[in-house]
Amino acid sequence: MAGMRGLLLEHYEAFRRRLRRRLGSDDLALDALQETWLRVERMGAAQPQRNPVAYLFRMAVNAASDQRAAQGRVLSAVEVDALMDEGVDHLDPAAVAFDQAQFAALAAALDELPARQRAILIAARIDQQPIDAIAHQHGVSSRMIGKDLKKALQHCAGRLERPLVQRFGPGAGKPS
């Protein structure tokens, strides 16, 4: 395994420069190289047949990618402390009851919609699907999907006694 470690040490600065450019941070590059060193140590006697330098660089890029993914799922210490400070006693019973009533009203409003309008509303607003994709699924034009979506939104807004605000097009941002 001295061969892979030796190659890593020999090309360390070149890897660091390339990773810094690719990741936008010298700290991230150094962390990735440290993780790569640990991975090389755990590899045992296995050695790639072709281009071990490219293999090591790819290993470093993968290590950086794994670290970024892990950091995206982990809360910082400050965030954990803030969550710990917010206890259940900070919940306002009146606000909880109001939110539950709003949710029940929305569920009832969705149940009252025709099946296609309900499916379109859920696809567009909950699943965030593009209008064109929804139109293709239902075998109708994008314009028809827009009309059904608007009807569904108007119905739900009326049931929840809220104004419907147009998000795009002429008059966007104003209550309908």
For 43-94, the pLDDT digits (tens) are 866 666 678 888 888 889 888 888 877 766 665 666 666 656 655 555 677 8
Q: Which residues make Cβ contacts (< 8 Å) with residue 99, sequence separation at least 6?
A: none
Between 117 and 92, the more confident residue is 117
Share of the chain above pLDDT 70, in %: 77
Q: Looking at residue 176, what is its pLDDT?
A: 45
What's the pTM? 0.46
CATH number of 92-159: 1.10.10.10
Q: Looking at residue 130, what is its pLDDT?
A: 92
Q: How far apart are CA 148 and CA 130, in angstroms?
A: 14
Interval 123-152: pLDDT, tens? 988 888 999 999 999 999 999 999 999 999
Angle between helices 142-159 and 131-138 (to 10 degrees): 100
Domain ranges across the chain: 2-73, 92-159
Assigned token pair, 169: 């097009």
